[in-house]
Structure formats: structure tokens, C-alpha cells
Amino acid sequence: MIGRLNHVAIVAPDLAGAARRYRDVLGAEVSAPVPLPEHGVTVVFVNLPNSKIELLTPLGAESPIAGFLARNPGGGVHHLCYEVDDLIAARDRLIASGVRVLGDGEPKTGAHGLPVLFLHPKDFNGSLIELEQARPGEVD
């Protein structure tokens, strides 16, 4: 069902500082910041040959990652994102097998402009999982 790893998301209390560290110290290509009000975050992507790192920081006090940052003031790994070739079919199959989909269960538009869903971390060994609809022809 799942395809390639799209990205690993890391919460950063200082997004600009984290982006500089990846760019200047590790020599990575880093995107410009993108605010995502629907998700309550601002993100930058670190482009890697085989995947991406998503650096994210809260966008406002009501951000869903504000609590994560309160518990982890230095930041840390937040979630893993996997691509799927059919997000709705994957959702339905997961729900039928007892997996909890967060929110109302309906996809939202993610940072790449594609539909995404999040799966409850208690169903995946404490790891928050994001599923992203793959662009046609891009699921491995």
C-alpha cells in the first residue's frame, strides 16, 4: 500500500536558524518558507537525492504542533510521510483494519498541494504517520 518515503518532518523552534544550519553546515538545498494556515505551520523543505526533510514551526499560538514544541523545546522528529497511489482506498483499508485517522477522516491539502491524511501515533508504535497522495507515476 505505501510507496516511497516522501519526507521526515522535524519541528524547529527557530525555522530560519534550522534552515540555515541545513544549508550552510550540511550544504543542502533548502526551499523558501511556506505558511500553511490550514495546518497551523510554516514549513521549509530540505531537498535530498532520495527524499526530503520538512522543517516546521508553529504558525500562531493555536498551532497543532505548539504542544509538541512545549514538550520538546529544542524540537525533534514529528512525523513520517509516505506516498500512496490511492489515498481514499488506503484510508478505507486502514479504517477497516482498526487504524484511527486523525481529524474528520477527510483529506486536506498538504504542503505539496496534494491530499494528505494523518494516522494516530498509537497505532504505529508512537510515530505519527502522514499519507500523501502520490502524483501519478511517482509511487515506487
Q: Is 54 a catalytic residue?
A: no
Domain range enclosing 9? 2-133
Query: What's the number of domains the chain is made of?
Result: 1
pLDDT, one tens digit per residue, over 31-85 is: 999 999 989 999 999 999 999 999 999 998 899 999 999 999 999 999 999 999 9
Cell numbers that stand for 111 in this block: 504542503
Specify the length of the chain in residues.
Answer: 140
Angle, CA of 13, 4 and 53, to the nearest 5°: 20
Is 123 part of a structural domain of the chain? Answer: yes
The span from the CA of 63 to the CA of 58, in Å, is 5
Is 139 part of a structural domain of the chain? Answer: no
Q: Which of 29, 62, 83, 130 is catalytic?
A: 130
Is 140 part of a structural domain of the chain? Answer: no
For residue 124, what is the domain's CATH number? Answer: 3.10.180.10
The span from the CA of 75 to the CA of 138, in Å, is 31
The span from the CA of 22 to the CA of 115, in Å, is 27
Cell numbers that stand for 53 in this block: 526533510
Is 55 part of a structural domain of the chain? Answer: yes
pLDDT, one tens digit per residue, over 23-43 is: 999 999 999 999 999 899 999
Is 64 part of a structural domain of the chain? Answer: yes
